[in-house]
Amino acid sequence: MNVRVRLFARARDLAGAEFVEVSLSEPALVSDLRRELLARHPALTPLGPTLLVAIDNQYARDDAVVGPASDVACFPPVSGG
Amino acid sequence: MNVRVRLFARARDLAGAEFVEVSLSEPALVSDLRRELLARHPALTPLGPTLLVAIDNQYARDDAVVGPASDVACFPPVSGG
Amino acid sequence: MRSIVLTNEPIDYTALTEQVRSHEAGAVVLFLGTVREMTSGRRTLALDYDAFPAMAESTMREILAEAESRWPIVAAAIVHRLGHLDLGEISIALAVSCGHRAQAFEAGRYLIDELKQRVPIWKKENWDDGTTEWVHPGAEGPSA
Amino acid sequence: MRSIVLTNEPIDYTALTEQVRSHEAGAVVLFLGTVREMTSGRRTLALDYDAFPAMAESTMREILAEAESRWPIVAAAIVHRLGHLDLGEISIALAVSCGHRAQAFEAGRYLIDELKQRVPIWKKENWDDGTTEWVHPGAEGPSA
């Protein structure tokens, strides 16, 4: 499946795009998504271990499942307030 | 010496006056003032042990000295804010 | 900027807050004390605040100096209302600004906690049954 | 009253504070985050805030629900500014009212602490040397 990933802040700047696509074989976990994302977009490497993943507007752990209908976002540590 | 004592809040209401006088023999301590005040103004008795004494705009302990030039105030526990 | 005021007029907390804003500060904490309707199951109609003004001001200055020795306060302003206050009105407003939020919260909390313990100001409840009562924590029984 | 807003307009913290005032509340705490000039010895000219709006709002709702389960909150309102902010401008305003002050201080502190940890909003420093830098706590090195 192809999963569209929305990027924010420095992740978006490094990738040079607000949305990127990654191909995953089902079933896929967040850890798979994370690996594929960095493989396809090595510009994100400086953020690698700190990148946070959200599925359907909720933080997702590495063992959470990514499905074809998942709304996926990926971003560095937050700094609002 | 005669010392004029300014009263506030319920102490003023109970004594029925904003200022009262007490006679003290010198040297006098706050504890003497306190005893004389209650003897001369028994209406203050319900507040007796909780009454606070200030000399020259500072809280004064029972062993502080009261002089003829002292600016003395006496009031119940505070409840501002 | 340091400001300590006793007033008989309604408190303008926006003006107070603007006084403490600064390019040096990343955090502002404003505390408002307001006249609450219910206290221990009894209904209040209004409060009357009385003060020993000279000592109230000097005690507030003392407390503010203590806070400044503990936290890096950029600016602080305190105003206490006196006289007759209706339900919902503001009895005290206290604004403090600091570089960072933890400092501003802690300093604000210290200022109001100490003020309530030490500053010679008293409130009198006007209960809805027509009685009034000075609030004197720790003193015995009801008053008039 | 519960209100959570993201906005590109300057924040009206007086309107926010009025929203949470209530006859049920004896205490209101307002927190303002403002753009500070100096950070670790460097001079900021401005900040840009970006957000993931849907998730930012749902996360703020979650945090507010957590606070409500811990403290008896009468009313709460949070507004976060997005876009370009000049020095001294308000990036966040958070107002909470409770019966008593300890509750209001603790709830306010919880809300801002959790918000800063979890809500997907990011700031970018505009340093006075012309460079910009996303602030990503824990991520390595400077960015563009």
Contacts of A13 in chain D (CB under 8 A): 134, 143-144
In angstroms, how far apart are the furthest CA atoms of chain B? 38
Please give the average per-residue pLDDT across D98-127, as a whole number: 98
Contact C88 D112 (CB under 8 A): no
Secondary structure (H, E, C), B10-74: HHHHHHCCCEEEEECCCCEEHHHHHHHHHHHCHHHHHHHHHCEEEECCEECCCCCEECCCCCEEE
Tell me the two tokens of residue A47: 């953020």
Contacts of D117 in chain A (CB under 8 A): 78
- The shortest CB-CB distance from D34 to any of C26, C38, C112 is to C26
Please give the average per-residue pLDDT across B55-81, as a whole number: 97
Distance from CA of A45 to the nearest CA of D (A): 10
Distance from CA of D50 to the nearest CA of C (A): 18
Which of the other chains make 3 or more beta carbon contacts under 8 angstroms with chain C? Answer: B, D
Question: Closest by alpha carbon to D29, among D115, D98, D114?
Answer: D98
| Backbone CA torsion sign across B20, B23, B28, B29 | negative
Average pLDDT value over all residues in chain B: 97
The reported pLDDT for the residue numbered D102 is 98
The reported pLDDT for the residue numbered C144 is 41
Measured between CA atoms, the residue of chain B closest to residue C115 is B81
Distance from CA of C117 to the nearest CA of D (A): 14
Please give the average per-residue pLDDT across B33-62, as a whole number: 97
Contacts of A59 in chain D (CB under 8 A): 118
Total residues belonging to chain D: 144
Please give the average per-residue pLDDT across B25-37, as a whole number: 97
Please give the average per-residue pLDDT across B4-29, as a whole number: 97
Instruction: Collect the ranges in chain C with pLDDT lower than 50.
Output: 143-144
- CB proximity list for D130: less than 8 A, separation 6 or greater: none
Contact C105 D101 (CB under 8 A): no
- The shortest CB-CB distance from A77 to any of D49, D112, D137 is to D137
D38 DSSP β-pair partners: D43
Please give the average per-residue pLDDT across D106-130, as a whole number: 98
Question: CA A3 → CA A20, A24, A73, distances in Å?
Answer: 8, 7, 10
B28 DSSP β-pair partners: B66
Contacts of D33 in chain C (CB under 8 A): 26-27, 101
**Is there a cis peptide before residue A68, judged by omega within 30 degrees of 0?**
no
The reported pLDDT for the residue numbered C141 is 57
Instruction: Collect the ranges in chain A with pLDDT lower than 50.
Output: none
- CB proximity list for C76: less than 8 A, separation 6 or greater: C1, C2, C3, C20, C64, C67, C68, C94, C95, C96, C97, C107, C111
Contacts of B5 in chain C (CB under 8 A): none
- The shortest CB-CB distance from D120 to any of A47, A50, A78 is to A78
Question: CA A77 → CA A3, A53, B9, D94, D134, distances in Å?
Answer: 22, 10, 55, 22, 10
Is the per-residue pLDDT at D68 higher than 50? yes
Measured between CA atoms, the residue of chain C closest to residue B72 is C55
Contact A77 D139 (CB under 8 A): yes
C28 DSSP β-pair partners: C97, D32
In 3-state terms, what secondary structure has residue C7? strand
**pLDDT grade for D143, boundaries at 50, 70 and 90:** very low
A/D interface, count of CB pairs below 8 Å: 90
Contacts of C122 in chain B (CB under 8 A): 8-10, 75-76, 78-80
> Contact B27/B8 with Cβ under 8 angstroms?
no
> Contact A66/A3 with Cβ under 8 angstroms?
yes
Among residues of chain A, what percentage have pLDDT more than 70? 100
The reported pLDDT for the residue numbered D141 is 57
Question: Closest by alpha carbon to C89, among C50, C119, C47, C128?
Answer: C47
- Is 0.90 surpassed by the pTM of this model? yes
Which of C36, C49, C134 to mutate against chain B (most B CBs within 10 Å)?
Answer: C134
DSSP string for residues in A13-74? HHHTSSEEEEE-PSSEEHHHHHHHHHHH-GGGGGGGGG-EEEETTEE--TTSEE-TT--EEE
The reported pLDDT for the residue numbered C63 is 98
Measured between CA atoms, the residue of chain B closest to residue C53 is B57
pLDDT in tens, C128-138: 999 999 999 99
Which of the other chains make 3 or more beta carbon contacts under 8 angstroms with chain B? Answer: C
- The shortest CB-CB distance from D52 to any of A8, A13, A47 is to A8
DSSP string for residues in D70-133? HS-EEEEEEEEE-EEEETT-EEEEEEEEESSHHHHHHHHHHHHHHHHHHS-EEEEEEETTS-EE
The reported pLDDT for the residue numbered D144 is 41
